[in-house]
Amino acid sequence: MKKTLLFGLLLFNVVFVFGQSISKTIQLLPDTGQTISYTPTFGEDNDYLINTPSYTNNGDGTITDNVSGLMWQQVDGGEMTIENAKTYCDNLVLGGHSDWRLPVSIEAFSILNHQNNNPAMNTTYFPSSGAEYWWTSVFELNSTTKVWCTNAGGGIGNHPKTETISAGGTKKFHARAVRNTNTPPTLTIHFTDNGDGTITDNLTQLIWQKVPNTSALTWENALKYAEGLSLGNSTDWRLPNIKELQSLNNELATNPSVFSPYFGNLGVYFYWSSTSLPNQTTKAWYWSTQFGITTYDTKTNANYVICVRGNPTLTVQNEAVHNSIKVYPNPASNYIVISFVENPESPVFEFSNSLGQIVLRKEMKVTSNEYRLNTEKLSNGFYVLTVINGKKRDSFKIVITK
């Protein structure tokens, strides 16, 4: 199942402190682009579609990100020092515009595509340039020598500015300029403590678990824990993808690199994302709260978990659709309907609980376009409905409320 979640990402250019105003420079946070499943366990990145990446080639050397609203330089400016990168972007005239700049970290991270690797970009719109890293305008806290950079593998981290070839190093750090297409509005409040164990990020409209799980879990168990969480009168929690997780990073703090006092409970740990590494599928991306880098670890290792859910006014849907299969109503009560565009091959329907245990299984011998299943025996809570149609398996997250 791909569940569509829409939420606005608001980005700020000023010091992050309690009550400070925030400038919105990105309208929406694009999805990671991960479209392949790497586990039968429900809740991985592929199971949720969050603002599908979409670009427009303007035909003048610029690319507009239709999700974020940012305009990007199509072909990066090549290898250069951080000082020259800033000067280059500030002086750039391209596509009839002269208000180009180096991106901040979250902007640069927003155009990475985590289904691809080396480069982790959509090369239809951003041709490969041989870059290993791309500069941002953000220096590490209290440092004049380390700069935040995205990398061609799909991560982000703080690197010595001397690592690039032009500064005497051996690596290729390139500059790609960005500009705003509209004047960013300003918000006055970044986070809201909802008083029920949850925190709303008013920038992204995401709602976060305030106190993370106290035990480290393997990646598979992290998915199950997140999908089974009931908190703040909600059950639609999930493991965040790597872009959502990275949006919590506060580059003006370290050990942990979080926004205090709201996320002081996170401590200094590695936090799993739902995003797999496409070229090493036994590994998944995580966020380290020591400085805020994103990198990856073997899925069987144990890391920590903070769960997320979307804005409830935007994510509540009465039906789930995937691969021409529609499931409704959702939430359901005493029955659920599974509708196929084409006649299935004697389908099998399995309901699994939050522990992955099959609690209801129905095999249908008669071929029909629509099936009505009795769910009266299922107690309140969330379930994963797996539809087995020949060799195809499609999973849907279903909520039962009575």
With a cut of 80, say whether residue 92 has pLDDT above it.
yes
pLDDT in tens, 154-202: 999 999 999 999 999 999 999 999 999 998 878 788 899 999 999 998 8
Residue 212's pLDDT band, with cuts at 50, 70 and 90, is very high
Which of 292, 316, 340 is the last residue in one of the domains?
A: 316
Same domain, 126 and 198: yes
Asked whether 73 and 92 are in contact (CB, 8 A), the reply is yes
Same domain (yes/no): 12, 144:
yes
CATH number of the domain where residue 377 is located: 2.60.40.3080
Query: In this structure, are residues 299 and 286 in contact, taking their beta carbons and an 8 Å threshold?
Result: no
Residue range of the domain that includes 298: 1-316
Q: Are residues 258 and 352 in the same domain?
A: no
From 316, 336, 351, the end of a domain falls on 316
286 shares its domain with 244: yes
Going by pLDDT thresholds of 50, 70 and 90, the confidence category of residue 1 is: very low
* pLDDT confidence of residue 24: 78
Domains in the chain: how many in total?
2
Verdict on whether the full-model pTM lies above 0.75: yes
CATH of the domain at 109: 3.10.100.10
8 Å CB contact between 339 and 363? no
| Structure-token match 């008669």, residue found | 366
Q: Given a cut of 90, is residue 399 above it in pLDDT?
A: no
Both 267 and 332 in a single domain?
no
Judge if 234 and 147 occupy the same domain: yes
Q: Are 268 and 385 contained in the same domain?
A: no
**What is the spatial distance between Cα 116 and Cα 114, in angstroms, rounded to a whole number?**
5
pLDDT at 355: 67
366 shares its domain with 308: no
The reply to whether 283 and 344 lie within a common domain is no
Are 191 and 294 in the same domain?
yes
In one-letter notation, the amino acid at residue 152 is A
Q: Which tokens sit at 286?
A: 């995580």
Residue that is last in its domain, among 316, 349, 378:
316
What is the structure's pLDDT at 240?
Answer: 96
> In terms of DSSP H, where are the helices of 71-170?
82-91, 105-110
Per-residue pLDDT tens digits for 338-396? 988 888 888 899 998 866 788 999 998 767 788 899 999 998 877 888 888 887 878 78
Specify the pLDDT at position 303.
Answer: 98
Do 362 and 297 lie in one domain? The reply is: no
Q: Which residues contact 146 (CB under 8 A, 6 or more apart)?
A: 139, 140, 158, 159, 160, 161
Q: Tell whether 251 and 395 lie within a shared domain.
A: no
